């Protein structure tokens, strides 16, 4: 065997090891009644879709610069309207509420009655150049029509941010609309901690976040749950606080990245620096970071909110939806 052949075999072995480096998602001890979800941009829409479709097993949702549930109705030509970019033609929240009720009646999603008890956080930055105020206002209207009480619905729309997840100190300057879609803002002289605002709104008063994490960020094989044609990545991530790894019963939060914000696009910026892990560590919250990558039908690496994975994309049968639910059930020890 020539040295060149040995070198090529060694390189191939290294590639095989790299391709299979991620472990399977662990099964932990979770509180099935305490799952919450949130996201930015297309991730915010995915969070809302998950909240509505699986409302019986979710207690709250955080929607940062997102559009309303089923707004596109499977038609990519409606995307501009849904994002608030068509003057004098805002999304019709009443029609979207009717669609959710119809899906529930057909058994495609859980009963919308569960939404009445959910905690809902909605955010729109005043300098957001991507998803405009009419789009986000339709989200608020949708949840009101679903019966969410005013005391449980927090709408933040005065922060001078661009299209981004907001942290106290990490990322771009507040008003920017640029990669990695994470910015730092100050409100009334205080750094705005959006992950903390979302989690505290949904769970009530939490312990203060930590500066030094005790847990571990695990990379796991997402292909176990999602075929390649879902546009979901081979690998995804989950942050497991030390107490949760040692057997404590923990809550689950699912954080959906936005378009152009997967790990393939921005590295660890979203899952390591979005701010969730600091709060999760001190409050026994496991944070799941599912991943979707760019593809031919999805060039910006968005979560499916207009139907590129099929007509059931916003229901429990949607390929991405079903995949994330299976991940959640595994973490919670349900399967």
Mean pLDDT of 232-247: 97
H or E element, residue 155: strand 153-156
Among candidate residues 34, 38, 41, 262, the one labeled active-site is 41
Q: What's the pLDDT score for residue 110?
A: 98
Domains of the chain, by residue range, sit at 22-332
Say if residue 2's pLDDT is above 90. no
Q: What's the pLDDT score for residue 19?
A: 33
Of the chain, the percentage scoring pLDDT greater than 70 comes to 94
Confidence of residue 22 (pLDDT cuts 50, 70, 90): confident
Mean pLDDT of 106-133: 98
Q: What's the pLDDT score for residue 309?
A: 97
Of the chain, the percentage scoring pLDDT greater than 90 comes to 92
Say if residue 114's pLDDT is above 60. yes
Say if residue 234's pLDDT is above 70. yes
For residues 176 and 7, which has the higher predicted lDDT (pLDDT)? 176
17 CB-near residues (< 8 Å, 6+ apart): none
114 classed as catalytic: no
Which residue(s) pair with 219 in the sheet?
Answer: 237
Q: What's the pLDDT score for residue 3?
A: 37
Neighbouring CB atoms inside 10 A of 191's CB total 12
How large is the angle between the packed helices 42-53 and 319-332, nearest 10 degrees?
70
Whose CA is closest to 49, among 65, 64, 71? 71
Q: What's the pLDDT score for residue 182?
A: 98
Say if residue 302's pLDDT is above 60. yes
pLDDT, tens digit, for every residue of 162-205? 999 999 999 999 999 999 999 999 999 999 999 999 999 999 98
Q: What's the pLDDT score for residue 21?
A: 52
Say if residue 319's pLDDT is above 70. yes
H or E element, residue 141: helix 133-145
- Mean pLDDT for the chain? 93
Across the beta sheet with 36-40, the strand order is 153-156, 119-123, 60-64, 36-40, 251-256, 285-289, 235-240, 216-221
Alpha helices in 186-316 (DSSP H): 194-203, 242-245, 263-266, 269-273, 276-281
List C-alpha distances in Å: 327 to 158, 192, 323.
35, 30, 6
Reported pTM: 0.93
Mean pLDDT of 305-316: 97
Say if residue 16's pLDDT is above 60. no
Q: What's the pLDDT score for residue 106?
A: 98
Among candidate residues 34, 55, 110, 128, the one labeled active-site is 128
Question: Rounded to an integer, what distance in angstroms lies between the CA atom of residue 275 and that of residue 320?
Answer: 24
Q: Are 256 and 165 in contact (CB under 8 A)?
A: no
pLDDT, tens digit, for every residue of 125-154? 999 999 999 999 999 999 999 999 999 999
Question: Rounded to an integer, what distance in angstroms lies between the CA atom of residue 193 and that of residue 55?
Answer: 26
Q: What's the pLDDT score for residue 133?
A: 96
Question: Rounded to an integer, what distance in angstroms lies between the CA atom of residue 49 and that of residue 132?
Answer: 19
113 classed as catalytic: no
Q: What's the pLDDT score for residue 91?
A: 97
Say if residue 44's pLDDT is above 70. yes
Q: What's the pLDDT score for residue 4?
A: 31
List C-alpha distances in Å: 292 to 183, 260, 309.
22, 9, 12
Mean pLDDT of 264-282: 98
Q: Which residue in this structure is represented by tokens 């390189």?
A: 11
Distance of CA 143 to the CA centre of its chain: 18
Among candidate residues 42, 48, 55, 163, the one labeled active-site is 163
Rounded to 5 degrees, φ, ψ at 295 are: -150, 180
163 classed as catalytic: yes
Mean pLDDT of 101-110: 98
List the structure tokens of 150. 């005013």
234 CB-near residues (< 8 Å, 6+ apart): 19, 22, 221, 222, 223
Say if residue 222's pLDDT is above 50. yes
């Amino acid at each position: 065997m020539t040295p060149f052949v040995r070198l090529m075999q060694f390189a191939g072995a290294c590639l095989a090891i790299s391709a299979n480096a991620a472990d399977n998602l662990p099964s932990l001890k979770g509180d099935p009644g305490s799952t919450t979800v949130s996201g930015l941009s297309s991730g915010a829409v995915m969070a809302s879709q998950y909240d509505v479709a699986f409302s019986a097993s979710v207690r709250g949702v955080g929607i940062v610069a997102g559009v309303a549930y089923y707004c596109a109705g499977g038609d990519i030509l409606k995307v501009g309207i849904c994002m608030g970019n068509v003057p004098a033609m805002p999304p019709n929240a009443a029609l979207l509420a009717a669609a959710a009720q119809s899906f529930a009646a057909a058994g495609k999603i859980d009963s919308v009655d569960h939404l009445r008890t959910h905690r809902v956080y909605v955010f729109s930055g005043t300098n957001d150049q991507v998803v405009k105020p009419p789009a986000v206002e339709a989200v608020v209207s949708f949840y009101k029509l679903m019966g969410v009480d005013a005391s449980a619905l927090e709408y933040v729309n005065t922060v001078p941010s661009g299209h981004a997840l907001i942290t106290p100190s990490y990322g771009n300057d507040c008003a920017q609309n640029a990669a990695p879609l994470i910015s730092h803002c100050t409100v009334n002289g205080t750094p705005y901690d959006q992950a903390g605002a979302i989690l505290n709104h949904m769970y009530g008063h939490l312990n203060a976040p930590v500066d030094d994490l005790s847990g571990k960020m695990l990379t796991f094989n997402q292909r176990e749950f999602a075929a390649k044609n879902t546009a979901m990545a081979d690998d995804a991530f989950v942050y497991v606080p030390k107490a949760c790894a040692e057997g404590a019963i923990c809550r689950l939060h699912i954080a959906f990245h936005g378009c152009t914000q997967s790990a393939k696009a921005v590295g660890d910026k979203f899952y390591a620096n979005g701010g969730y892990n600091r709060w999760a560590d001190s409050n026994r919250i496991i944070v799941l970071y599912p991943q979707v990558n760019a593809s031919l039908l999805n060039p910006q690496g968005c979560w499916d909110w207009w139907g590129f994975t099929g007509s059931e994309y916003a229901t429990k049968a949607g390929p991405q939806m079903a995949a994330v639910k299976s991940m959640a059930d595994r973490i919670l020890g349900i399967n």
